[in-house]
Amino acid sequence: MTNKVHHGRHSVTRHWLINTMGTVVVVLLIIEILLILAVRSYYYSAARQYMTSKMNIVYNAVMQTADDTTKNYNAEIREVVETYADKDKVELMAVKTDGSIDITSSGFSPSDQVSLEDYEAAKKAASGTASAVFELPSGEKVIAVTSMIAPKGSEFEALRMVSSMKGVDSQILFVIMIITAVVIAVVLVIFFSGMFFIRSIVYPVIKIGEITRKYAKGDFSERIEKRTDDEVGELCDSINYMAAELSNTEQMKNEFISSVSHELRTPLTAIKGWSETLTTIGDDKETFKKGMRVITSETERLSQMVEELLDFSRIQDNRLQLQMATIDILAELGETVLIYQERARALGIKLDYYEPEMLPFVYGDKNRLRQVFINIVDNAIKYSDKGDTVSVEAYEQGGEICISVSDTGIGISKDDLPRIKTKFFKANHTRRGSGIGLAVADEIIARHGGTLTINSEQGVGTTVMITLPYEEQNKKQDDKDTVNVELISNDVETADK
């Protein structure tokens, strides 16, 4: 499992590096190449313009001399070339009509291997001027500009300027280094910020994975440290809350198993003890009757517990079926009170029943509703002591049937009250019960469209209020649903036609 986690972490980082960083690097490289080409083009264009402007100055000076008949045209060209003021930066040459270079401002004749592509291009150009960038045999890069001059019987055909591109290339290289440094800086910023972002997400997710695997094994002791207030922090809070709830559920489940085991063991012990006793009493009828009453009572208690467990299982699997019919709710409630009258009297608890003359009928499952009433009244007696009072009252209010079961027993603490209807929860472990009766009762009432609310104060008592809609409301709703279905059917038929 650890290898899988690490593989997942590496996979996320690798995907980010390949997809995000790879795309960013490629885009930046393309931008850098385009910038380099633009910079090179700009500097080379600037060099050509500079050389062309220099050539124009010399050309104009020579052409003015050509118009003066008192001056020797060839001698003037020689003088202009040999006395050129910027010869330390630019070399000026005079090209003869046969294409050879006769004189230069530096005094050195160029090699025969030097390219004259600018001269060849100038001869073909309409403007008579052309430029070229090329390398000398020595490897030095230069720029050359040639302008054609009118021969007028002169031995010279063109003027040519040559200048080294070393300075330009150095400047271009400097700019390229700056661009490259900026690109590298951007890549590094994106990389480290991205890795920080990946770390801020992947590492907490890894930690979450490690801790949730502990949760899966039943260890809910560890919590995830929340470091940020973003979505990851909210996820940590949610998982911590889930762990707390699972821990509480696990604890309640264990307590439930312990409680149910105790509740099952007590009647089984009584049944076993009396069964063994009855085999040895002979003709003692009183003892036999007493033993059979105990066995019957404890058997019913076991049956009730098993039925609660089965109902809870059905609710969990959504298999709880209700046999709905029109019922008299007072009959079911009155029968429940009658069942517990004797038990309450034996325990010294007063059981009062305030029965109205009539209540509307209820559309529901009488056996399930009686099960709810039995559970509520049984709890009221269970959590009451000798001298306490349990009151059962039924009445109609606000278009609903209300059934109130209150007691003056030990009550429920404020901390336990919100969880009292939670599965497996028992507020008091000194009293008998499985801890799922109220959860089942609440589900049954909810499926009848009613509510079950509990108000309690520790040391004062508890009141359970059950509300149920009566049958007229259900019929109105059913009729309304029927009308809606008919209207929909008519619309469908009309559309079909």
Ranking 219-223, 251-255, 477-481 by mean pLDDT, the lowest is 477-481
pLDDT at 284: 78
Q: Is residue 300 part of a domain?
A: yes
Spatial distance between the Cα atoms of 358 and 297, rounded to a whole number of angstroms = 33
pLDDT reading at 241 higher than 80: yes
Domain boundary among 288, 313, 338: 313
Q: Which of 90, 64, 70, 94 is nearest to 81 (CA)?
A: 94
Same domain, 77 and 165: yes
Q: Are 162 and 91 in contact (CB under 8 A)?
A: yes
Same domain, 464 and 335: yes
Q: Are 173 and 45 in contact (CB under 8 A)?
A: no
pLDDT reading at 169 higher than 60: yes
Same domain, 21 and 157: yes
CATH number, residue 474: 3.30.565.10
Spatial distance between the Cα atoms of 487 and 442, rounded to a whole number of angstroms = 35
Q: Which domain holds residue 40?
A: 2-171
Please count the other Cβ atoms lying within 10 Å of the Cβ belonging to residue 468. Answer: 25
pLDDT at 20: 81
Same domain, 338 and 307: no
Spatial distance between the Cα atoms of 236 and 385, rounded to a whole number of angstroms = 46
Same domain, 327 and 467: yes
pLDDT reading at 434 higher than 60: no
pLDDT at 235: 84
Q: Is residue 490 part of a domain?
A: no
Q: Is residue 177 part of a domain?
A: no
pLDDT reading at 135 higher than 80: yes
162: burial class by Cβ within 10 Å (0-12, 13-18, 19+)? buried
Spatial distance between the Cα atoms of 329 and 363, rounded to a whole number of angstroms = 9
Q: Is residue 45 part of a domain?
A: yes
What are the phi and psi torsion angles at 192 (to 5°)?
-70, -40
Spatial distance between the Cα atoms of 37 and 50, rounded to a whole number of angstroms = 20
pLDDT at 468: 92
| Torsional sign, CA 240, 243, 245, 251 | negative
pLDDT reading at 7 higher than 80: no
Same domain, 48 and 141: yes
First to last CA, the chain: 63
Q: Is residue 403 part of a domain?
A: yes
Average pLDDT over residues 116-122: 87
Same domain, 302 and 325: no
pLDDT reading at 288 higher than 60: yes
pLDDT reading at 298 higher than 70: yes
pLDDT reading at 5 higher than 70: no
For the chain, percent of residues with pLDDT exceeding 70: 84
Q: Is residue 275 part of a domain?
A: yes
92: burial class by Cβ within 10 Å (0-12, 13-18, 19+)? buried
pLDDT tens column, 395-407: 998 889 999 999 9
Same domain, 337 and 462: yes
Same domain, 279 and 371: no
Ranking 44-48, 141-145, 414-418, 424-428 by mean pLDDT, the lowest is 424-428
- Name the residue with higher pLDDT: 491 or 83: 83
Half-sphere exposure of 4 (CA within 13 A, CB side): 4
Average pLDDT over residues 15-25: 82
pLDDT at 390: 93
Spatial distance between the Cα atoms of 117 and 134, rounded to a whole number of angstroms = 9
pLDDT tens column, 387-397: 999 999 999 98
pLDDT reading at 9 higher than 60: no
pLDDT at 255: 67
Q: Are 385 and 345 in contact (CB under 8 A)?
A: no
pLDDT at 459: 85
pLDDT tens column, 436-456: 778 888 888 998 999 999 998
CATH number, residue 268: 1.10.287.130
pLDDT reading at 480 higher than 60: no
Tokens 């055909």, residue located: 157
Strands 400-407 and 389-397: antiparallel
Spatial distance between the Cα atoms of 301 and 264, rounded to a whole number of angstroms = 9
Spatial distance between the Cα atoms of 225 and 232, rounded to a whole number of angstroms = 11
Q: Is residue 458 part of a domain?
A: yes
With cut-offs at 50, 70 and 90, classify the pLDDT of residue 476.
very low
Spatial distance between the Cα atoms of 145 and 90, rounded to a whole number of angstroms = 11
Spatial distance between the Cα atoms of 387 and 355, rounded to a whole number of angstroms = 22
Same domain, 472 and 327: yes
Spatial distance between the Cα atoms of 96 and 268, rounded to a whole number of angstroms = 131
Q: Are 94 and 101 in contact (CB under 8 A)?
A: yes
Same domain, 465 and 409: yes
What is the DSSP annotation of 280-345?
T-TT-HHHHHHHHHHHHHHHHHHHHHHHHHHHHHHHHTT------EEE-HHHHHHHHHHHHHHHHH
pLDDT reading at 473 higher than 60: no
Residue 195 corresponds to which tokens in the numbers above? 């890795």
- Alpha helix (H) ranges present in 83-148? 117-124
Average pLDDT over residues 159-184: 92
Q: Say how many domains are in the chain.
A: 3
Residue 37 corresponds to which tokens in the numbers above? 């080409």
Domain boundary among 313, 333, 357: 313
Q: Mean pLDDT over all residues of the chain?
A: 80
Residue 386's H or E segment, with its range, is none
With cut-offs at 50, 70 and 90, classify the pLDDT of residue 95.
confident
Q: Which of 375, 369, 380, 360 is nearest to 449 (CA)?
A: 369
pLDDT reading at 293 higher than 90: no
Q: Is residue 326 part of a domain?
A: yes
Spatial distance between the Cα atoms of 484 and 480, rounded to a whole number of angstroms = 6
pLDDT at 486: 46
Q: Are 55 and 80 in contact (CB under 8 A)?
A: no
Average pLDDT over residues 309-335: 80
Average pLDDT over residues 162-169: 90
Same domain, 97 and 166: yes
pLDDT at 212: 84
Domain boundary among 279, 313, 347: 313
Half-sphere exposure of 247 (CA within 13 A, CB side): 14
CATH number, residue 15: 3.30.450.20
As a dihedral over the C-alpha atoms of residue 270, residue 275, residue 277, residue 280, rounded to 10 degrees, the angle is 180
pLDDT at 66: 63
pLDDT at 488: 39
- Identity of the amino acid at 121: A
